[in-house]
Amino acid sequence: MIEDKNQQRTQLSDLGEFGLIDHLTKNFKIKHKSTIKGIGDDAAVLDFKKQIVVTTDLLVESVHFDLSYMPLKHLGYKSVIVNLSDVYAMNAEATQVTVSIAVSNRFPLEALEAIYAGIETAAKIYNIDVIGGDTTSSNTGLLISVTAIGEVDKSKSVYRNGAKPNDLLVVSGDLGAAYMGLQVLEREKEVFKVNPNNQPDLEPYTYIVERQLKPEARKDVIKLLSDLEVKPTSMIDISDGLSSEIMHLCKQSNVGCDLYENKIPLDPQVISTCEEFNIDSTTVALNGGEDYELLFTVSQDDYPKIKANPNLSVIGFIKEEKEGLHLITRADTKIPLKAQGWKNFKD
């Protein structure tokens, strides 16, 4: 939120396009055997033995992120993470990404360096090769488009359409934190506008703010499931909110479901911040989005393998399609599940 007046500002035009690409990508090391040729030619060359998974996400300034509280390094990191999350949701291993970026001349070289530092960190932690991209100018804001590539054994890939009646509905981690982190950041931004000397105290909100600014993709859960020898019958990652992702799974699998309100995993910081903002925590978990947790279904036979795991919560049961989709509330009433999505939710 605070602009550092002493920060160095090197004009992008000083480097030229090729100088810029070289400068930003010089630290990237190739780690995967499947990457035959990375950055530097007209196209990258890959060689896979398995099935290939490909996914893309486009992040647009002031639609998907707000630079007044999103540090550029985090933005670079998050732009990779949101794509890896989609690869893991196929039960695949993420191996490569391409990164395309459009910037207006209000961004100096140092801004791009920060974005690439975040991309590099994500690539290191998640063991990904950055194999190419495109760099161009924009008249308005900043755009980042990442494409992620992964590989999966044919017998291991998991789609959205495999859920069966009586399967268990399972979610990793906890929900609603990224949305509540955003509420805190938006509030602090308004406070800062009124009084720029007012330094925000984010200490009570560290977990939820981090979930918004620096999300992680659940590579660990894919490994965990593989170690437990559990193959989900269907899977999706939670980018738009639990409710809409459940609806996607059920629609594509032609099934219904009962979701239990009292089983939805919530961090204590989400509960306390919801109280402070006077918002219902279940509504936040259902519609908040940007959790990047994995939602999946497993056969009841697999229950003993997952029940004791602190990373996984059984939150419901798959039903016949004709039974519909319902939330079973804490008061034990049954109400139809609705998806608002976080964009509509905000208005």
Binding-site residue set for substrate: 64, 290, 342
- Select from 47, 134, 220, 280 the one that contacts Mg ion (CB under 5 A): 134
CB of 99 to ligand ADP, least distance (A): 4
Amino acid at 104: S
Best CA proximity match to 327, nearest among 244, 242, 258, 253: 258
Q: Say if residues 236 and 169 touch (Cβ distance below 8 Å).
A: no
288 is a contact residue toward ligand ADP (CB under 6 A): no
CB of 101 to ligand ADP, least distance (A): 5
Residue 101 binds which one of Mg ion, ligand ADP, none, with CB within 5 to 8 A depending on kind? ligand ADP
Distance CA 293, CA 309 (A): 15
The number of beta carbons lying within 10 Å of the beta carbon of residue 236 is: 23
Contacts with ligand ADP by CB under 6 A: the residue count is 13
Q: Say if residues 291 and 221 touch (Cβ distance below 8 Å).
A: no
138 is a contact residue toward ligand ADP (CB under 6 A): no
Q: Stretches 119-127, 134-142, 183-191, 280-288: which one binds Mg ion (CB under 5 A)?
A: 134-142
14 is a contact residue toward Mg ion (CB under 5 A): no
Binding residues: 42, 55-57, 64, 86, 116, 133-134, 160, 237, 239-240, 290, 342
- Select from 12, 39, 122, 246 the one that contacts ligand ADP (CB under 6 A): 39
135 is a contact residue toward ligand ADP (CB under 6 A): yes
**What are the contacts of 21-25 at 24+ separation with CB within 8 A?**
21/135, 23/109, 23/113, 24/112, 24/113, 24/116, 25/116, 25/130
The number of beta carbons lying within 10 Å of the beta carbon of residue 35 is: 19
Distance CA 145, CA 83 (A): 10
- For residue 39, the 8-state DSSP code is B
Tell me whether residue 28 or residue 296 sits nearer to ligand ADP (CB atom).
28
Tell me whether residue 100 or residue 252 sits nearer to Mg ion (CB atom).
100
Strands (E) across 173-271 are located at 234-237, 255-260
Secondary structure element (H or E) that encloses residue 319, with its range: strand 312-320
Q: Say if residues 288 and 179 touch (Cβ distance below 8 Å).
A: yes
259 is a contact residue toward ligand ADP (CB under 6 A): no
Tell me whether residue 21 or residue 224 sits nearer to Mg ion (CB atom).
21
- Which of positions 115-134 make contact with ligand ADP (CB under 6 A)? 130, 132-134
User: Rule CB under 6 A: which residues touch ligand ADP?
Assistant: 21, 25, 39-42, 99, 101, 130, 132-135
User: Rule CB under 5 A: which residues touch Mg ion?
Assistant: 134
